[in-house]
Structure formats: structure tokens, C-alpha cells
């Protein structure tokens, strides 16, 4: 995220949860259905208070589970409502069946999702194993480094979802962003309302003058074609995401893309990561640059659709990269983001691709420090210089291994 000189809002101090709830208030969806879960509880709790106080004309549905939350949100969406929800971790997992239905029905639902580790053992802190597990469910996935990005991403996601006819989730790292207070810029209600616009569904189940079939059985004759259409819609959404980002920049002065490049123009070594760890990594890049080491960073914002060609083009210019994953595939190969990045490099760069290493960090909220990231960069520097071979297996940062 790059801040331009243009600004129309007011500066506030808010947590990630507070600012996502604020974005939802300004968007003013027709229906929000939700069930509370740590660390996302505050989002829907604060929003429900907005509803109770008459600050937003939304129908808030308090349901009995997260599966029911997504079911009710789907029902509202097919009825023609602009519908939203929020969840995390086990709640997100309980929605699993309905996530695929929302995508398969091409419903523009928006979800505020706070990344949290999955049980067992029980853990309430942040890693990205929940949403990484659903990375191929047909939802657009947008990740946030900080509260400002969470707010901006929520506003943009509504436009993106409705134009692409796909559901979208906006995430923050649990507790690190969701509960930490940061300074952010909040835009005037009228400007957000104008940017989001009025929702005009192409069709609605309650429009009895234009009846249509929904949720019909779809066997060998057409299921394949419909799944292809869903995949193609995801590919086509890349153009929509950039168009919405361009309009957002013109109106609010902040620039977004599929990912952010930090000190990448002449970088020889680079880290690729997602979420709040990018901020820590930027500080390390600055320190290394001061020492004459040409380090860079690519922070992925849009993980689905994955920007394969674009990211391969930028990474092809460096000698060695490390992909930092906050989720583990447990498959004895590599972690999710690394697999996507390396596949993109192989398909687009062939034998000219940089050497690549994979690191898993921060599971269950385990901290990652400046020193940890600097150590990764120094190993990369050795790989780039040919004094060390790139690791052929997943490396784990700050874990006690016996």
C-alpha cells in the first residue's frame, strides 16, 4: 500500500476489528448474519451495536453457528440483498460446505475474516491456516498488512465481488492486527457510499416476475462446464480488481495492486510474504540496505486470484528468494504460498527462475522477529553468491525441534 498526497478523511486510532466494523457500517449492507468467534467477535459485536443504535439500516441476524451464518448470508444474497458476514478459524472451518456453495452460485458475498490457527490443539492466536485451507474454494482472497489496508480492502471488496459475481474475503492477522490499535484514515460516509454504489443484482429469487432455477442438480452433462465458468470468473476478476483499485486511488488517494513491491527495483535477494509480517520485513530490508545488501520484499495482497505472471516477472530479476508461509501444508513437500510462487516461476521463467527457499513461521501466533527475518536474508545472500545451496525442504523459523 502506497499513500499518495491526496486525502479526504479523518485520522483515527482504531483496532483492526473496529475499523472493519466501521467499513461495514459505511457500506451499509442489507443483511449481516453472524455468529461470534475469537478473535473476530468484535467485528460483528460492534456492527450489531451500530444496528441497535440505528446507525445503519441493516437486518442483523444472530444465528446459532457459523454454518448457519453463511447459510443465512447465502439466502439473503440469492434473495437480492447485499449481504456480509465475519468469522475466524474454527468458525470459518464450520462454514466449509457453504463456502463452496456461495462460490458455485456466484454470489457477491463479502466476509471479514480474522486469521487464526485451527485446532487441535486449541489455539486462539493468529496464523493463516484457516483461509489457506480454503484457498481453492472459489473465493477472492485479499490479505491486509495493517488496519488501514483492512479498511480500504473492505470497501474495495464490495465493488470487486459484485462486478466479478464472486464472493470475497478480506483478512487480518488475529490479535496482531485485529486487537492492536493503529492510526488510520477513515473516509467520509458519503464518499464511501458513493464509491460502493447501490447494489443492483442481476437477478433475485424474490423477483417473481423473472423466475429462475437455483441450486439445481448438475451431473455429468453440465457440472464440468459450470466449474470451468467459476474458474474463468476468478481469472477474469484480476482485471476488475485493478480497475476498482484505480478508481479507489482517484477517489481516496491510496494505491493498491495484486501485491506491493518494496525496494525491488535493484534487489538481488527477496522475501515473499503475506499479512502483518510484511511490516517487520520492511524494517529488516531498510537495515540491510543501509549495509549495502540489496534486499527486497514482495507482499502479496491478492492471493486469489493468484497473480502468477505478474509476480514471476518481478521475481525473475532477483538471484534468490524466500517465501514465508504462515501455514503448513503438512504434506511433506512445501507450504501453500511457496507452491504457488514456485509454480508461477517454473511456468513463466523456466531455468532462469531464481533459487527459492520455503520457510514456515508464526504458527499459533508464535512471534517472528527482526533477527529471524534478517537470518533468512543472510542465508539468501549466501545462496545468491553461490556459497550455500538453496534448501530443498521446508525450514521452520523459531520452532523447538527435537
What is the predicted pLDDT for the residue at 4?
47
Write out the residue range of the structural domain in which residue 277 sits: 259-396
Which among 220, 255, 290 is the end of a domain? 255
Q: Are residues 337 and 190 in the same domain?
A: no
Query: Is 371 strand, coil or helix?
Result: helix
Q: Are residues 250 and 336 in the same domain?
A: no
Say if 402 falls within a structural domain.
no
Say if 371 falls within a structural domain.
yes
Q: Are residues 247 and 320 in the same domain?
A: no
Q: Are residues 361 and 304 in the same domain?
A: yes
Closest by alpha carbon to 151, among 280, 326, 22, 274? 22
Q: Are residues 275 and 351 in the same domain?
A: yes
Dist. CA 209–CA 206, nearest whole Å? 9
Say if 353 falls within a structural domain.
yes
What is the predicted pLDDT for the residue at 359?
98
Peptide bond into 120 cis (omega under 30): yes
Q: Are residues 343 and 265 in the same domain?
A: yes
Structure-block grid coordinates of residue 372: 529471524
Q: Are residues 75 and 192 in the same domain?
A: yes
Q: Are residues 110 and 230 in the same domain?
A: yes
Structure-block grid coordinates of residue 292: 549495502
Q: List the chain pLDDT tens, one digit each, 402 residues.
A: 444 445 479 999 999 999 999 999 999 999 999 999 999 999 999 999 999 999 999 999 999 999 999 999 999 999 999 999 999 999 999 999 999 999 999 999 999 999 999 999 999 999 999 999 999 999 999 999 999 999 999 999 999 999 999 999 999 999 999 999 999 999 999 999 999 999 999 999 999 899 988 888 999 999 999 999 999 999 999 999 999 999 999 999 999 999 999 999 999 999 999 999 999 999 999 999 999 999 999 999 999 999 999 999 999 999 999 999 999 999 889 999 999 999 999 999 999 999 999 999 999 999 999 999 999 999 999 999 999 999 999 999 999 986
Q: Which residue has the cell 437480492?
A: 80
What is the predicted pLDDT for the residue at 215?
86
Q: Are residues 345 and 385 in the same domain?
A: yes
Query: Is 36 strand, coil or helix?
Result: coil
**Cα-only R_g, the chain:** 21
Cα-based distances in Å from 168 to 131, 171, 253, 297, 383: 12, 10, 23, 25, 38
Which among 234, 255, 276 is the end of a domain? 255
Task: List, as one string, the DSSP characters of 278-347.
Answer: HHHHHHHHHHHHHTT--EEEEEESEEES--HHHHHHHHTTSSEEEEEESS---SSS--HHHHHHHHHHHH
What is the predicted pLDDT for the residue at 331?
85
Which among 255, 275, 309 is the end of a domain? 255
Q: Are residues 249 and 349 in the same domain?
A: no
Cα-based distances in Å from 331 to 96, 358, 392, 399: 20, 14, 14, 18
Q: How many domains does the chain divide into?
A: 2
Query: Is 258 strand, coil or helix?
Result: coil
Q: Are residues 245 and 284 in the same domain?
A: no
What is the predicted pLDDT for the residue at 134?
97
Say if 170 falls within a structural domain.
yes
Question: The domain spanning residue 381 has which CATH number?
Answer: 3.40.50.920
What is the predicted pLDDT for the residue at 260?
98
Q: pTM of this prediction? A: 0.97
Dist. CA 10–CA 24, nearest whole Å? 17
Crossing angle of the two packed helices 66-78 and 96-104, in degrees rounded to 10: 10
Q: Are residues 240 and 364 in the same domain?
A: no
Question: The domain spanning residue 42 has which CATH number?
Answer: 3.40.50.970
Amino acid at each position: 500500500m502506497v499513500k499518495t498526497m491526496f486525502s479526504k478523511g479523518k485520522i483515527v486510532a482504531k483496532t483492526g476489528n473496529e475499523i472493519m466494523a466501521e467499513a461495514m457500517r459505511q457500506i451499509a449492507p442489507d443483511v449481516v448474519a453472524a455468529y461470534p468467534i475469537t478473535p473476530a467477535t468484535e467485528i460483528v459485536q460492534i456492527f450489531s451495536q451500530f444496528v441497535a443504535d440505528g446507525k445503519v439500516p441493516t437486518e442483523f441476524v444472530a444465528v446459532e453457528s457459523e454454518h448457519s451464518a453463511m447459510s443465512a448470508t447465502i439466502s439473503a444474497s440469492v434473495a437480492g440483498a447485499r449481504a456480509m458476514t465475519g468469522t475466524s478459524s474454527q468458525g470459518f472451518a464450520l462454514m466449509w460446505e457453504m463456502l463452496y456453495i456461495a462460490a458455485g452460485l456466484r454470489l457477491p458475498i463479502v466476509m471479514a475474516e480474522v486469521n487464526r490457527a485451527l485446532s487441535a490443539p486449541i489455539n486462539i492466536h493468529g496464523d493463516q491456516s484457516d483461509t489457506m485451507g480454503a484457498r481453492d474454494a472459489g473465493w477472492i482472497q485479499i490479505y491486509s498488512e495493517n488496519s488501514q489496508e483492512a479498511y480500504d480492502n473492505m470497501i474495495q471488496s464490495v465493488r470487486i465481488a459484485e462486478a466479478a459475481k464472486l464472493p470475497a474475503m478480506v483478512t487480518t492477522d488475529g490479535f496482531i492486527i485485529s486487537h492492536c490499535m493503529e492510526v488510520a484514515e477513515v473516509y467520509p460516509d458519503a464518499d464511501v457510499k458513493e464509491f460502493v454504489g447501490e447494489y443492483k443484482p442481476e437477478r433475485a429469487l424474490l423477483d417473481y416476475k423473472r423466475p429462475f432455477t437455483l441450486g439445481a442438480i448438475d451431473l455429468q452433462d453440465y457440472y464440468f462446464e459450470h466449474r470451468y465458468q467459476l474458474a474463468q470468473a476468478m481469472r477474469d476478476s484480476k482485471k476488475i480488481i485493478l480497475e476498482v483499485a484505480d478508481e479507489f486511488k482517484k477517489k481516496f488517494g491510496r494505491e493498491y495492486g495484486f501485491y506491493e513491491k518494496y525496494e525491488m527495483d535493484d534487489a538481488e535477494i527477496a522475501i515473499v510474504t503475506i499479512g502483518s509480517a510484511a511490516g517487520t520485513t520492511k524494517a529488516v530490508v531498510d537495515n540491510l540496505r543501509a549495509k549495502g545488501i540489496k534486499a527486497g520484499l514482495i507482499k502479496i495482497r491478492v492471493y486469489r486470484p493468484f497473480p502468477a505472471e505478474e509476480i514471476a516477472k518481478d521475481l525473475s530479476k532477483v538471484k534468490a528468494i524466500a517465501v514465508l508461509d504462515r501455514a503448513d501444508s503438512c504434506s511433506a513437500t512445501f507450504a501453500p504460498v511457496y507452491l504457488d510462487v514456485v509454480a508461477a516461476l517454473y511456468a513463466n521463467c523456466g531455468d532462469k527462475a531464481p533459487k527459492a527457499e520455503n520457510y514456515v513461521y508464526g504458527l499459533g501466533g508464535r512471534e517472528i522477529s527482526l533477527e529471524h527475518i534478517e537470518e533468512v536474508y543472510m542465508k539468501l545472500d549466501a545462496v545468491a553468491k553461490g556459497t550455500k545451496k538453496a534448501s530443498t525442504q521446508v525450514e521452520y523459523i523459531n520452532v523447538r525441534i527435537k
